[in-house]
C-alpha cells in the first residue's frame, strides 16, 4: 500500500486480515461447507425468543437503535448485579476491542499478550501504533506468570488474557486471573476476554467487582447466546472507564434488531443452559472421534476442542486442508507449537457424523 496520504501507521500495517471467512474459503475451493465448525459459532442457534424478537423488530428496522442501549444495559446490569453505568454495549467484542484500544493505546504504547492468542486484539493494537510484546503459551495454557513478567518488563498499559482461552480452550481459575491482575504494573489494565465464559466452570470466572479499575471484562452474545450474526458485545467495568468509551465509540453502531435480539436472549436463560449442555456433549463426542483416530485433545472449557494432530504445523495444516476439501470447515492456531492442533467447534450430532467420516480420510 503505497498511498502516501494514509497515516504513517496505516502505511506500515500488513495487508493481512484477522480471519478469512468460511464463505471466502468455500468460494475459492468450490467445495460447499457441510459442517461449519471453524468459527466457534453456536450451531445450536439463538433462543427462539431471540428469533421471534428479531422477526418482530424487522419491520421497525427503519429506526436507529437506542444509542445508549438503555433497555439492554438495564437488563445486563440486573443479570450481573451492577449498575447500568458499569456496562457499555458495542458491535461485538471485536468492535469493543477496537474502541478500548483507541482509549488506551497511542503510538509506542506497550501492550502484552500471548503469542498465538486471538488475533483481532493484536490487529487493533497495531492499527493504533501500539507495540505488542508477546510471550509463548506454556503447556497449551496462556502463561500468566510470563505475561505478568513481560508486562512489568515493558511497563505494559494493556494486558490481554482470554479465559477460557481461544484457540486452545484451556482455562485458569478465578484466583489465578486475579493473581495476574495483581502482578501487573499499577497503571496496567487487564483486558479479560470472557467470550467463552458460559462454557467454563463457575470457579473460572472472577466475581465482578465494579470498584476494580484494573480489569475490563469483555462479554458477547456471539457464543452461548448464538447471536454472532447480530453483533452485540459488552464490557463490564468501573463507571469512569466505561464512560470513557462514549468519547470515541460509534454510538449508533448496535442496531435496533440486534438490541432486541440480545434483550430477548437474556430472558431465556434456559436456552443458554441447554446450549452449554449441548456443547459439553459435543466436546465429549469430538474427543471420542479424535481418540478413535489415534489423536489426543486439549481439555477445553470453551465451545470448541483443540485436537492435537500429533505432528508439526505443516502436518496439521494438511489435515485442515483435507478436511476442507471434504466440506468440513475448521480452523487452527497460527503459531508453533500450538499449530500442531486443529480447532473444532462444537457441532450438532449430524455435523459430528460428517466430521467422524471425514477425519480418518483427512489424516
Site for its own copies in 279-338 (CB under 8 A): none
Alpha-carbon distances, residue 339 vs 107, 307, 359 (angstroms): 31, 10, 17
Q: Which is nearer to its own copies, 46 or 164 (CB)?
A: 46
Considering only residues 227 through 246, tell me which ones interact with its own copies, judged by CB under 8 A. Answer: 227-231, 240-241, 243-244, 246
> Which parts of the chain fold into alpha helices (H)?
8-12, 22-29, 48-57, 70-80, 92-104, 119-127, 144-154, 174-183, 239-245, 256-266, 269-292, 313-325, 349-362
Residue in 18, 294, 334, 336 binding its own copies, rule: CB under 8 A: 18
Nearest-approach distance from CB 229 to its own copies, in angstroms: 3
Q: Which is nearer to its own copies, 128 or 293 (CB)?
A: 128
- Cell of residue 250, nine digits: 460509534
**Cis ω before 90 (30° cut-off from 0):** no
Coil/strand/helix, residue 175: helix
Place of cell 467495568: 237
Check residue 44 for interaction with its own copies (CB under 8 A): yes
Complete edge-to-edge strand list for the sheet that includes strand 215-220: 87-90, 233-236, 215-220, 189-193, 158-162, 110-114, 131-135
How many CA atoms within 13 Å lie on the side-chain side of 236?
A: 25
Check residue 57 for interaction with its own copies (CB under 8 A): yes
Check residue 109 for interaction with its own copies (CB under 8 A): yes
Coil/strand/helix, residue 306: strand
Check residue 24 for interaction with its own copies (CB under 8 A): yes
Check residue 102 for interaction with its own copies (CB under 8 A): yes
Alpha-carbon distances, residue 106 vs 9, 39, 218, 251 (angstroms): 11, 30, 21, 22
Q: Which is nearer to its own copies, 252 or 277 (CB)?
A: 252
Binding region for its own copies (CB under 8 A) out of 226-234, 280-288, 327-335, 354-362: 226-234
CB atoms within 10 A of CB 73: 22
Residue 173 and residue 203 in contact, taking contact as beta carbons nearer than 8 Å: yes
User: x/- contact string, 119-158, with its own copies (CB under 8 A)?
Assistant: --------x-----------------------------x-
Coil/strand/helix, residue 326: coil
Residue in 159, 189, 263, 309 binding its own copies, rule: CB under 8 A: 189
Q: Which is nearer to its own copies, 223 or 340 (CB)?
A: 223
Q: For the chain, what's the residue count? A: 363
Binding region for its own copies (CB under 8 A) out of 53-61, 168-176, 302-310, 324-332: 53-61
Check residue 112 for interaction with its own copies (CB under 8 A): no
User: x/- contact string, 67-96, with its own copies (CB under 8 A)?
Assistant: xx-x--------------------xx-xx-
Q: Which is nearer to its own copies, 91 or 286 (CB)?
A: 91
Nearest-approach distance from CB 340 to its own copies, in angstroms: 26
Q: Which is nearer to its own copies, 116 or 255 (CB)?
A: 255
Residues near 244 by Cβ (< 8 Å), separated by ≥ 6? 103
Check residue 39 for interaction with its own copies (CB under 8 A): yes
Binding region for its own copies (CB under 8 A) out of 42-50, 139-147, 291-299, 321-329: 42-50
Residue in 37, 43, 192, 309 binding its own copies, rule: CB under 8 A: 43
CA distance 177 to 72: 28
Q: Which is nearer to its own copies, 3 or 139 (CB)?
A: 3
CA distance 97 to 160: 10
Residue in 220, 222, 287, 300 binding its own copies, rule: CB under 8 A: 222
Check residue 66 for interaction with its own copies (CB under 8 A): yes
User: x/- contact string, 244-283, with its own copies (CB under 8 A)?
Assistant: x-xxx-xxxxxxxxx--x----------------------
Chain centre to alpha carbon of residue 127:
19
Cβ-based burial of 23 (10 A; exposed 0-12, middle 13-18, buried ≥19): exposed
Residue 227 and residue 261 in contact, taking contact as beta carbons nearer than 8 Å: yes
Amino acid at each position: 500500500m503505497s498511498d502516501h496520504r494514509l497515516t504513517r501507521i496505516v502505511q506500515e500495517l500488513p495487508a493481512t486480515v484477522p480471519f478469512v471467512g468460511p464463505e471466502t474459503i468455500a468460494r475459492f475451493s468450490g467445495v460447499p461447507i457441510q459442517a461449519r465448525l471453524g468459527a466457534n459459532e453456536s450451531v445450536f442457534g439463538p433462543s427462539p425468543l431471540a428469533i421471534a424478537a428479531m422477526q418482530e423488530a424487522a419491520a421497525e428496522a427503519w429506526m436507529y437503535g437506542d444509542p445508549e442501549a438503555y433497555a439492554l444495559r438495564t437488563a445486563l446490569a440486573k443479570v450481573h448485579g451492577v449498575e447500568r453505568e458499569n456496562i457499555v454495549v458495542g458491535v461485538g467484542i471485536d468492535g469493543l476491542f477496537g474502541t478500548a484500544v483507541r482509549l488506551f493505546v497511542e503510538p509506542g504504547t506497550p501492550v502484552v499478550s500471548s503469542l498465538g492468542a486471538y488475533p483481532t486484539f493484536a490487529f487493533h493494537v497495531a492499527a493504533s501504533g501500539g507495540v505488542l510484546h508477546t510471550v509463548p503459551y506454556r503447556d497449551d495454557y496462556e502463561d500468566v506468570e510470563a505475561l505478568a513478567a513481560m508486562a512489568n518488563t515493558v511497563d505494559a498499559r494493556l494486558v490481554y488474557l482470554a479465559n477460557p482461552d481461544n484457540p486452545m480452550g484451556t482455562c485458569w481459575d478465578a484466583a489465578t486471573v486475579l493473581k495476574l491482575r495483581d502482578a501487573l504494573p499499577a497503571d496496567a489494565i487487564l483486558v479479560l476476554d470472557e467470550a467463552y465464559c458460559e462454557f467454563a466452570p463457575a470457579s473460572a470466572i472472577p466475581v465482578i467487582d465494579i470498584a476494580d479499575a484494573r480489569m475490563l471484562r469483555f462479554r458477547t452474545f456471539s457464543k452461548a447466546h448464538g447471536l454472532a450474526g447480530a453483533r452485540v458485545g459488552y464490557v463490564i467495568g468501573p463507571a469512569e472507564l466505561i464512560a470513557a468509551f462514549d468519547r470515541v465509540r460509534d454510538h449508533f453502531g448496535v442496531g435496533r434488531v440486534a438490541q432486541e435480539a440480545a434483550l430477548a436472549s437474556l430472558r431465556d436463560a434456559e436456552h443458554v443452559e441447554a446450549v452449554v449442555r449441548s456443547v459439553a456433549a459435543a466436546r465429549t463426542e469430538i474427543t471420542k472421534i479424535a481418540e478413535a483416530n489415534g489423536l489426543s485433545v486439549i481439555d477445553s472449557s470453551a465451545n470448541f476442542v483443540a485436537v492435537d494432530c500429533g505432528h508439526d504445523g505443516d502436518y496439521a495444516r494438511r489435515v485442515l486442508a483435507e478436511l476442507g476439501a471434504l466440506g468440513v470447515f475448521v480452523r487452527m492456531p497460527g503459531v508453533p507449537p500450538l499449530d500442531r492442533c486443529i480447532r473444532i467447534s462444537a457441532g450438532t450430532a449430524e455435523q459430528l457424523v460428517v466430521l467422524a467420516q471425514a477425519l480418518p480420510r483427512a489424516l
